[in-house]
């Protein structure tokens, strides 16, 4: 009991003492003190060729004697109150503006700390950057082949040593570099080095000046709000590209010239005959089509030479980009007449490049001898061929002798005859639902007995199940006579595949 009384008395004494102290507190309230700001460096002395590029990395820090820093405000050149930007970072990369038309400039950068009471450093830290503008660069990375039809695609890179944010615009012109510049939009994808891809699409059925629509990207996004360039059909054209940075510096132009060919027919003849240096084979097939009232457009794709037993690289006469450029170019025709002396040439890429053509209802006649092709070749996914004839035992190769019969397997197809011996012709087995059109007398060579009849299938011409493609695996030039050959083209191409001028 006594101890409780004693504790109460002590507590009461403490309260009286505290109240007495409170009544005796005196002095003035100390105001919040402003933070201070410092830059990593205070001065840069560089002149002439040693000036900095306009892309700079700036670091700073701040201290507060009676609180803590919540962030910073910075301004470039303009330090009026509305020009400051807030950040919590203590460093950043800036693209400093150069006065338009000048190659060098001194740019003011100022930063000030902000404390937890929102008080700003009244002085801040400042530095002037002596910078020099670097001219931007642009380079064409993809151009059309020397001669092309209605669609021409271009790609180019844009770069600036002063940083991607220093790029103001990129422009193209066709033929006219005085009044024909057209600004092309670009995105942040180009910052990572991706090329700008642009396609010019025009109606090339008439000669002379034609306006081209512009499509951006490989998804072919139509640029509606830009002026259409004028392209000369039946003449050589020149495509120019340049870029401009925010200081007004313009890159050197890059350019390429190409010929835009007129389209005159619904039929396209693809000449991929590597031995046709004098175009005699092409003339032979043109004559066959002419007999049916068709004068096709011609696309010569026989560059690259002959590479027996190997696949020839895709022709450089084709656009480099298959999708969308080549696919959409080929679908401009309703019918394709494809000739070659080697199955390992550009027909290898037919399935990929003719998707759009067949989707639009196109039909195709292929006259290519079938030689030197593996059983697992991807061409079997395109041609209506299940498999090829096989040699056995001592057999060394297939041969079709001169004056052999080429026999139709369906009514109303003309009978034909070979005019000379043809070695290496491989017989074909049709794929499911495909129709055999012609057989011939195929023999095999053996090391012991010379030549003897082949006992397997004898087919050399097949129509696919969709009835939109015929493969004739024997060179028509080795058959007679021309009247019957014209009748063959009339039956297969005109009646069967619906070829029209």
Domains of the chain: 36-132 (2.60.40.10), 137-260 (2.60.40.10), 267-496 (3.40.50.880)
Q: Concatenate the DSSP letters of all residues of 387-410 into one string.
A: EE----TTEEEEEE-TT-EEEESS
- Say yes or no to pLDDT of 17 above 60: no
Displacement of CA 36 from its chain's centroid (Å):
53
Residue 7 has pLDDT above 50, yes or no: no
From 135, 51, 58, 50, select the one nearest 94 (Cα to Cα).
58
CA distances from 426 to 53, 400, 482 (A): 67, 10, 24
DSSP secondary structure, 225-285, as one string: TSPPPEEEETEEEEEEEEEEETT--BPPPEEEEEEEPPP--SEEEEEE-TT-TT-HHHHHH
Least confident interval from 26-35, 72-81, 145-154, 327-336: 26-35
Q: Report whether pLDDT(481) > 60.
A: yes
Q: Which of 391, 370, 367 is nearest to 488 (CA)?
A: 367
Average pLDDT of the segment spanning 182-196: 87
CA distance linking residue 429 with residue 442, whole number of Å: 13
- Tell me how far apart the alpha carbons of residues 344 and 336 are, in angstroms, rounded to a whole number: 18
Across residues 87-93, what is the average pLDDT? 93
Return the pLDDT at 191: 77
pLDDT digits (tens, 9 = 90+) for 273-331: 987 777 999 999 999 999 999 999 999 999 976 666 678 899 999 999 999 999 999 99
Asked if 346 and 316 count as a contact pair (C-beta separation under 8 A), the reply is no
Instruction: Tell me what pLDDT residue 333 has.
Output: 98
Which residues face 149 on adjacent strands? none
Question: Of the ranges 44-48, 84-88, 129-133, 286-290, which one carries the lowest mean pLDDT score?
Answer: 44-48
Band the pLDDT of 248: cuts 50, 70, 90: confident
Q: Across the chain, what does the average pLDDT equal?
A: 89
Query: In 55-115, where do the E strands start and end?
Result: 55-63, 69-76, 85-87, 91-95, 104-115
Q: What is the pLDDT of residue 42?
A: 64
User: Residue 133: which of 182, 178, 168 has the closest Cα?
Assistant: 168
Is the pLDDT assigned to residue 49 strictly greater than 70?
no
Stretch among 7-11, 214-218, 401-405, 467-471 having the lowest mean pLDDT: 7-11
Of 358, 408, 403, nearest to 382 by C-alpha is: 358
The pLDDT score that the predictor gives to residue 19 is 52
What band does 41 get if pLDDT is binned at 50, 70 and 90? confident
Nearest CA to 263 out of 358, 334, 199, 337 is that of 334
Distance CA 443, CA 451 (A): 6
Q: Is the pLDDT of residue 46 over 90?
A: no
The secondary structure element, H or E, covering residue 183 is strand 182-184
User: CB-based burial of residue 14 (10 Å sphere; 0-12 exposed, 13-18 middle, 19+ buried)?
Assistant: exposed
Contact assessment for residue 195 and residue 156, using Cβ atoms and an 8 Å cutoff: yes
Average of pLDDT values for 217-236?
Answer: 96
Question: What pLDDT does residue 384 have?
Answer: 96
Q: How confident is the model at residue 32 (pLDDT cuts 50, 70, 90)?
A: confident
pLDDT category at 18 given cuts 50, 70, 90 is very low
State the pLDDT at residue 16: 47
Mean pLDDT calculated for residue range 205-229: 96
End-to-end C-alpha distance for the chain, whole angstroms: 125
pLDDT, residue 165, reads: 79
343-363 mean pLDDT: 95
Strand partners, 198: 154, 216
* Angle of helix 482-489 versus helix 280-290 axis, rounded to 10: 70
Q: Do residues 129 and 96 touch, judged by C-beta distance below 8 A? A: yes
Q: Which of 353, 332, 327 is nearest to 218 (CA)?
A: 327
Q: What pLDDT is recorded for position 394? A: 85
Q: Which of 219, 216, 258 is nearest to 239 (CA)?
A: 258
pLDDT of residue 317: 96
Task: Tell which wins on pLDDT, 236 or 54.
Answer: 236
Residue 11 has pLDDT above 80, yes or no: no
DSSP state of 319: -
Res 449: pLDDT: 73
Q: Which pLDDT does position 14 carry in this prediction?
A: 47
Q: How far is CA 201 from CA 228, 269, 444, 496, in A?
A: 10, 21, 52, 32
């Amino acid at each position: 009991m006594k101890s409780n009384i004693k504790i109460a008395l002590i507590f009461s004494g403490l309260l009286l003492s505290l109240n007495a102290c409170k009544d005796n507190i005196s002095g003035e309230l100390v105001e919040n003190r402003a933070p201070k700001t410092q830059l990593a460096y205070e001065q840069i002395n560089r002149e002439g060729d040693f000036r900095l590029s306009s892309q700079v990395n700036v670091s700073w820090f701040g201290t507060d004697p009676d609180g803590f820093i919540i962030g910073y405000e910075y301004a470039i050149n303009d330090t009026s109150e509305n020009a400051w930007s807030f950040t919590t970072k203590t460093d950043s990369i800036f693209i400093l503006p150069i006065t338009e038309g000048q190659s060098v400039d001194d740019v003011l950068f100022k930063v000030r700390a902000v404390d937890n009471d929102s008080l700003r450093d009244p002085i801040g830290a400042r530095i002037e950057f002596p910078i020099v503008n670097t001219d931007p660069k642009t380079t064409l990375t993809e151009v059309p082949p020397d001669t092309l039809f209605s669609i021409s695609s271009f790609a180019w890179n844009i770069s600036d040593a002063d940083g991607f944010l220093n790029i103001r615009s990129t422009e193209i012109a066709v033929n006219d570099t005085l009044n024909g510049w057209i600004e092309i939009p670009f995105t942040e994808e180009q910052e990572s080095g991706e090329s700008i891809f642009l396609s010019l699409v025009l109606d090339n059925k008439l000669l002379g000046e034609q306006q081209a629509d512009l499509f951006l990207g490989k998804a072919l996004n139509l640029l509606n709000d830009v002026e259409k360039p004028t392209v000369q059909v039946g003449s050589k054209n020149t495509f120019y590209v340049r870029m401009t940075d925010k200081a007004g510096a313009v890159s050197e132009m890059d350019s390429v010239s190409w010929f835009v060919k007129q389209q005159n027919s619904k039929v396209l003849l693809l000449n991929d005959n590597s031995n046709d240096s004098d175009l005699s084979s092409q003339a032979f097939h043109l004559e066959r089509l002419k007999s049916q009232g068709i004068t096709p457009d011609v696309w010569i794709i026989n560059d690259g030479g002959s590479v027996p037993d190997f696949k020839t690289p895709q022709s450089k006469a084709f656009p480099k980009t298959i999708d969308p450029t080549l696919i959409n170019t080929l679908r401009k025709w309703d019918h394709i007449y494809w000739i070659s002396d080697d199955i390992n040439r550009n027909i290898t890429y037919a399935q990929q490049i003719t998707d759009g053509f067949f989707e639009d209802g196109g039909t195709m006649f292929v006259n290519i001898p079938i030689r030197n092709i593996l059983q697992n070749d991807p061409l079997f996914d395109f041609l209506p061929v299940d498999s090829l004839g096989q040699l056995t035992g001592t057999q060394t190769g297939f041969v079709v002798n001169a004056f052999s019969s080429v026999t139709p397997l369906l009514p109303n197809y003309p009978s034909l005859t070979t005019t000379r011996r043809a070695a290496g012709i491989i017989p074909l087995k049709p794929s499911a639902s495909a129709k055999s059109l012609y057989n011939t007398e195929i023999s095999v060579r053996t090391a012991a007995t010379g030549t003897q009849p082949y006992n397997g299938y004898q087919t050399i011409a097949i129509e696919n199940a969709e009835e939109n493609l015929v493969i004739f695996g024997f060179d028509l030039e080795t058959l007679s006579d021309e009247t019957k050959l014209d009748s063959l083209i009339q039956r297969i191409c005109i009646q069967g595949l619906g070829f029209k001028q």
